[in-house]
Chain A
Amino acid sequence: MLTNFFYDLKDGGVPVSIKEYLMLMEAMQAGCANYSVDDFYFLSRSAFVKDEKNLDKFDRIFGKVFEGIEFIGDEEVEVPEEWLRKMAELYLSKEEMEKIEALGSWDEIMETLKKRLEEQDERHQGGNKWVGTAGTSPFGAYGYNPEGVRIGQKEGRHGRAVKVWDKREYKNLDDTIELGTRNIKIALRKLRQFARKGEATELDLDGTIKATAHNGFLDIKMVPERHNAVKILLFLDVGGSMDPHIKVCEELFSAARTEFKHLEFFYFHNCLYERVWKDNVRRFNDVTSTMDVLHTFPHDYKVIFVGDASMSPYEITYPGGSVEHWNEEAGEVWMKRMTDIYQKAVWLNPIPDTHWEYSHSIQIMKTIMEDRMFPLTLAGLEDAIKALR
């Protein structure tokens, strides 16, 4: 059972290793879980999950593997009254209801119904584990019967409203869902390249010892402090189809600005042509020629494009294809010039990658970028950073 659980976790994308499995075993042997399902859940979670973004995955898998385990071994099954009331409406025909009403009190109705349900129970499952098998039974939680009454979910036997792992409290911490500036910053930090440049402010201990031993007197050597030396060129698509993605782009932009000292950014529309601009208000007056950009920034700059790449294919492949102006050369040509100079370049696309194959222009752009197009999610960003390094 546990081994299955371990492999389910691994298949489900929670990074677990044998080390953690053994640790869990050791803790169980030491009596940390105390034979309670809740404690076991807490213990295994604390042993297997090392990042809050995986908590939700863990909860889901735990729920699947140990579904119904809470109820194994219960000899007598209590049927909650509320459930019976609901059941009465569902399972007794009108005539029966009338007949029972003729019988008298609600208690008697309940008795009759209880008997019926027990019969039904045996027919379906042959036992008394009526909750958790998630099968065809009309009652019990998670069943497929649309009219089924949710028992296990509504009121557990331990006075708890919902099983802990069923609550899925960690849902929004899953990294494929949410992107905040903080998360982006953490992702961007991986791009750091440290270099010692500038004013010498730190004591170079090794150098000092060496020089002192060499000269015979105390000779202090200083070195410059370490700085993040990575240089970034950021090109952002604005307007039109990018409007729905403004928030995530803003977040990426603000995170990048605080993270990198050498960051230059430019805007473009849909596809890169012969001009880019820095201020959207004056986008038609105050433009920078793309050629100048190529000539200004050396090839060790890393280039990040952010855009949905969703446009008419002509806008990329044909001269004059631009929707805003007459472009002498096709966008494709400019993109090629870019990627020729800057070897390290990626395209971040706010559109989910599952939709990419339905858009011709995204496919073209992806080919131009030599497949270095990534979705603008935290996971995608991490892959992009890997490609940039």
Chain B
Amino acid sequence: MKFAGTENYVATDDLKVAVNAAATLRRPLLIKGEPGTGKTVLAQEVADAFGMELIEWHIKSTTKAQQGLYEYDAVSRLRDSQLGDEKVKDIKNYIKRGKLWDAFESDKTPVLLIDEIDKADIEFPNDLLLELDRMEFHVYETGETIKAKNRPIVIITSNNEKELPDAFLRRCFFHFIKFPDKETMKEIIAVHYPDIQQMLVREALNIFFDMREVPGLKKKPSTSELLDWLKLLMAEDLPLDVLKSKDPSKLIPPLHGALLKNEQDVHLFERLAFMSRRQSG
């Protein structure tokens, strides 16, 4: 069982090694990187490559670790008790399974994605230490212990909004997805749009990487934005020389809305265009 990327996903060598190590030892794999470099997609692709089910757990600022295990719905039990419902006698009726429980009880080895773990409270990762280490947890309300039938492959993504505790990090493999270079980017585009013209790709990539070099951008465009932009370019069927033109008055690339996501950056580009026009004029 080796992960080697899929037909929809270009994995670099270091990423392959990290995924394979995590899959072999069944330790969590922590993925960090710039937004839009394919952190979340990776879990889907790993699941596809291994032919496994993907269980996704998206973390929000209000998510508690306990919710991943199970939740005890005390309020509806209280309500039922007032209505004299028969259900109320068995506490099991009010235990709601979480994603981790689903992953542990699954008959076939699943891939569990814990997405954007840094969004949650700072203590969140610590609360999952034992559960991810031993792959088991205890349900206090019913007294049963849930143990993983097959240790799932756990993939955790983080956007670095909070630092993760050391004890948690020590149990993970770590991979930082760096921004792809031009060659890798070409591969990624080929995977997504196989019939795109080579010329278009080359011109678009040049513009894209030049754009990332512009100092002072609030949000540099990333892979997913490049892919969107290419899609737009293809849909609009713009003549190729629009991209190629070195006319300084057209410094802002066509359909830039797909690449620049905030108005300060667009202003910055307009200012640069204005300045270069003045220089040439």
What is the interface of chain A, defined by CB distance below 8 A to chain B? 15, 17, 19-20, 23, 26-27, 30-33, 38-39, 42-43, 45-47, 49-52, 55, 164, 169-170, 182, 186, 189-190, 203, 205, 208-209, 212, 217-218
Contact = CB atoms under 8 A, between A and B. Distances in A.
Contacts, number: 83
Given A32-B24, A186-B161, A217-B82, A42 B13 contact: yes
B170 A170 contact: no
A33 B17 CA distance: 7
Contacts of A19: 170-171
Interface in B144-189: 160-164, 166, 169-176, 178
Contacts of A42: 13-14, 17-18
A194 to B, nearest CB: 9
Given A49-B176, A218-B79, 4 more contacts: A46-B18, A50-B172, A164-B14, A208-B75
Q: Please tell me the size bucket of the interface on B.
A: 20 to 34
Contact of A20 (B30, B75, B164, B170): B170
Interface of B: 13-14, 17-18, 20-21, 24-25, 27, 30, 32, 74-75, 78-79, 82, 122, 160-164, 166, 169-176, 178
A17 B161 CA distance: 24
A30 B25 contact: yes
A23 B30 CA distance: 15
B20 A49 contact: no
16 contacts: A19-B170, A27-B25, A30-B21, A38-B13, A39-B17, A43-B18, A43-B21, A47-B173, A50-B172, A52-B176, A186-B160, A186-B161, A205-B74, A209-B74, A217-B82, A218-B82
Given A38-B13, A218-B79, A17 B170 contact: yes
A32 B13 contact: no
B174 A15 contact: no
Contacts of B175: 46
Contacts of A186: 160-163
A153 B17 CA distance: 24
B83 to A, nearest CB: 10
A169 B169 CA distance: 22
Contact of A46 (B17, B82, B160, B178): B17
A208 B79 CA distance: 12
A233 to B, nearest CB: 24
Contact of B14 (A17, A31, A46, A205): A46
Contacts of A30: 21, 24-25
Nearest to B171: A19
Contacts of B30: 50
A32 B20 contact: yes
Given A209-B74, A209-B78, A170 B178 contact: yes
A52 B25 contact: no
Contacts of B166: 15, 50
A51 B118 CA distance: 13
Nearest to A47: B173
- The 4 nearest A-B residue pairs measured at CB: A50-B169, A42-B17, A42-B14, A46-B18
A52 B32 contact: yes
B174 A49 contact: yes
Contact of B78 (A39, A45, A190, A212): A212
A26 B25 contact: yes
Contacts of B176: 49, 52, 55, 170
Contacts of A212: 78
Given A50-B174, A52-B32, A52-B176, A27 B169 contact: no
A38 B160 CA distance: 27
A32 B78 contact: no
A17 to B, nearest CB: 6
Nearest to B18: A46
B255 to A, nearest CB: 28
Contacts of B164: 50
A190 B161 CA distance: 11
B25 A23 contact: yes
B163 A43 contact: no
Contacts of B18: 42-43, 46
A218 B74 CA distance: 11
A27 B172 contact: no
Contacts of B27: 23
In this complex, the member of A15, A27, A189, A218 whose beta carbon has the largest number of chain B beta carbons within 10 angstroms is A27
B95 to A, nearest CB: 15
A175 to B, nearest CB: 11
B68 to A, nearest CB: 18
A55 B74 CA distance: 47
A190 B164 CA distance: 12
Nearest to B15: A42
Contacts of B78: 208-209, 212, 218
Contacts of B20: 32
A369 B172 CA distance: 41
A32 B169 CA distance: 20
A192 B175 CA distance: 28
Contact of B162 (A17, A31, A52, A189): A189
